[in-house]
Copies of this chain bind each other. A is one copy, B any other.
Amino acid sequence: MTALIAEQSEPAALAVVVDGLRERFGERVSTSGAVREQHANTLTWIASEPPDAVVFVENTGDVVEAVKICAENKVPIIPFGAGTSLEGHLNAPYGGVSLDFSRMNRILDVHREDLDCVVEAGVTRKQLNEHLRDTGLFFPVDPGADATLGGMAATRASGTNAVRYGTMRDAVLNLTAVMADGSVVKTAQRARKSSAGYDLTHLLVGSEGTLGVITELTLRLHGVPEAILSAVCPFDTIDGACDAVITAIQMGLGLARCELLDEVQIEACNVHSDLGLKKTPTLFLEFHGTATSTREEVETFSEIASETGGGAFQWAERAEDRNRLWEARHEAYWAARTYRPGADAIATDVCVPISRLAECVRETKKDIDAFKLVAPIVGHIGDGNFHVIPLIDMDSANEVEAAATFLDRLVERALAMEGTCTGEHGVGSGKMKYMQAEHSSGIEVMRAIKRTLDPHNIFNPGKVVELT
């Protein structure tokens, strides 16, 4: 763990805060061990560091009051959505109070003509799409887990649809956040575009709770396409799969999803989801459009793929087959975990320009072999973003050390290819050590912004940017 300037909350200050919170929120404050443990880190190999207390907030006013109580006593605040982040975002290395958003799950408005909706930060992506089911609209961003929309905005999440519909960077029209001084900021109006001043929306998207606590969001929606066609296409090589996708994107094909699973991940998914696919690099694809346009695009893609070693397509035309396919894709992480029983999964991600993707995956697979790791690879190939999931016996010091070195080399490789240390998981505490190498002097700008907006470092301290 990197050294940080924040200090453990003073026991006295903490007691004052818990008393203050109890007075205001009554039974909505918990200091029970089980509840605190649930609100720390869960899905990663990073050790769990529970908060001192948890408050179940119900509206923006609650958040304002909780922030004010904590700020007065310089006690940290850690916003908690669904607990599915992967880089230790929810840990409380300096203690403090976790704000649980599960009760802020109201969908406040759906503007069908404007293709947008207003939600509280605790609404999950599946809940929103369920709500939209009869409107002809949908919300596309889909990280594997059923994360909250506030958490997804805070970590600048994306998923399988990003190649067509963008990431949370593109999906958030505006948001409401509580700042460290207790003020409530709405970052923009609901208009689709604006040139009116600094872009506070994007400053908060991806800030991981370190600059402000997101309480509401206005999100872009999209019309459900008339026709959806999904397919699986095996390739001889990863290069062949990448080349096919590059050509398809250049031609402007309406690829809504294009996911690459390497032969190890295919094997894991075969076991976990009974897919029965050939053990070879494989694309999971989806085309959105009209009946005519999707058919046309599928034909074009088949021709492209056949020239780069793509094999016979398996089509999933019925909605149930399609759902089964994408369910299997979204279960890739759990498939990987069960692939080596007893092992811990270290889910990590990097992102490079797509022209470097095949090379980056190839070099990474060489490293997996060299370090004798078991590590499936699955990627949002259209974005140049891929996940590696080393499956590690945490009782083996050798394996743990090998994994750590492997991860450092993975990031180093991605940066050397003009890529980033994380395409969609975020920094948390796990990737702070790479930020200097990635951002160089940009880090000083980030530090200046953090210091001016959160002078006492009470917002999720120990995450994103190391303060010096």
B351 adjacent to A192 (CB under 8 Å): yes
B423 adjacent to A194 (CB under 8 Å): yes
Q: Pick from A94-102, A248-256, A323-331 the stretch touching chain B.
A: A248-256
Does A292 make an interface contact (CB < 8 A)? yes
Interface residues of A, count at CB 8 A: 97
Most chain B CB within a 10 A radius of its CB, from A116, A136, A420, A441:
A420
B293 adjacent to A196 (CB under 8 Å): no
By beta carbon, the residue of chain B nearest A166 is: B170
Query: Copy number of this protein in the oligomer?
Result: 2
Known: A185-B445, A223-B252, A252-B222. A422 touches B353 (CB 8 A): no
Q: Which residues of chain B are near A451, meaning CB under 8 Å?
A: 452
* Interface residues in A118-136 (C-beta closer than 8 Å to B): 136
Q: Which residues of A contact B (CB under 8 A)?
A: 111-116, 136-137, 155-158, 162, 167, 169-170, 179, 183-203, 205-207, 211, 222-223, 225-226, 246, 249-252, 288-290, 292-293, 296, 351-355, 383-385, 414-415, 418-427, 431, 434-435, 438-446, 448-453, 464-465
A sample of 17 inter-chain contacts (CB < 8 A) reads: A114-B355, A114-B384, A115-B250, A137-B250, A190-B353, A191-B353, A191-B385, A191-B419, A192-B383, A196-B420, A197-B438, A197-B442, A198-B207, A198-B465, A223-B252, A226-B252, A451-B452
CA A411 – CA B256 in complex, angstroms? Answer: 38
CA A189 – CA B465 in complex, angstroms? Answer: 17
CA A454 – CA B282 in complex, angstroms? Answer: 50
Q: Which residues of chain B are near A116, meaning CB under 8 Å?
A: 353
